[in-house]
A = this chain, B = another copy of it.
Amino acid sequence: MSDAEPRVPLAHRVPDLGALELLLAIARHGSLGRAARELGISQPAASGRLRSMERQLGVALVDRSPRGSRLTGAGALVTDWARRVVEAAEAFDAGTQALRGRRDSRLRVAASLTIAEYLLPGWLVALRAQRPDTAVSLLAGNSAAVARWLFAGEADLGFVEGLAVPEGLDGAVIGHDRLVVVAAPGHSWTRRRAPLPAAELAAASLILRERGSGTRQVLDSALSRWGGLGEPLLELASTTAVKAAVVSGAGPAVLSELAVAEELAARRLREVRVEGVSLGRALRAVWPRGQTPAGPARELLGLTGSRL
């Protein structure tokens, strides 16, 4: 790992979450005082905070008047950007709260890592909006672990990705994931007109997670007809590390669509279409056979888009 040139940290250039929340509250209420009340602080505190945020950013955000406050044009834009930060923080909060995992939770969820990482926080935020008092706890692990937790009665509801429902569990498909081949813009594969033949994918040197990761296993078995995966170009310990290597142009990789959705949208990565091999897999909610989810579990299932 490269060494540590001191950098001005982001936290010094971005207002803290409290200030961003304040800005959103001001936008909603059109008044510093009411925004302050919503956040449980005094009106002078809000006034001072807003002022120091404007000083820090060097932009006037709010037009104050004796009969209320309105966002300036720039303020509206900044507020929209701030909303994204706050939403990410809300997902973070919902996730960590579940991870804290109090034993007395009304709903105990077990999920595969991919789902826990990319989908679950959003569901939990939605669930909280709908039933603010439902305490949820979360256990994250691979499919086998999820099944184990369900059988042992340590979880009420599980989420796994994979081709089949584990034996002894019932399940419902709640969505789909797909492994996609990605490469940095400019890589020769991104200039192809025709899809990449599976055989060529199997023959190529890819950036991979270390042996044993779920993604790698799925890929290897999907390519078994072509002799399985070739020699890896690089073996890395985390999805994030793989993405970073691909973005920096080290080579192509195969990752879950969920993991690369943002990078594809921002065009930091390009998808390479492949033919001759199917890399889709279902996302499933699962529960012990016979124990049809009810109560909060059913509520959460509804939010995932499942019709049960």
Contacts and interface: CB of A to CB of B under 8 A. Distances in A.
Nearest to A74: B99
B14 A9 contact: no
A115 B268 CA distance: 17
A167 interface: no
Interface residues of A, number: 71
Contacts of A99: 57, 59, 74, 77-78
Given A7-B40, A16-B17, A266-B122, A77 B95 contact: yes
**A7, A89, A121, A141: most-surrounded residue (chain B CB, <10 A):** A89
B240 A83 contact: yes
State the main secondary structure of chain A at its contact with B: helix
Contacts of A83: 240
A191 to B, nearest CB: 11
How many monomers of this protein are in the complex? 2
Interface stretch (A26-34, A220-228, A274-282): A26-34
A12 to B, nearest CB: 8
Nearest to A58: B100
B4 A34 contact: yes
Interface of A: 1, 3-11, 13-14, 16-18, 20-21, 28-30, 34, 37-40, 57-59, 73-74, 76-78, 80-93, 95-97, 99-100, 113, 116-117, 121-122, 126, 140-141, 185, 238, 240, 261, 265-268, 303-305
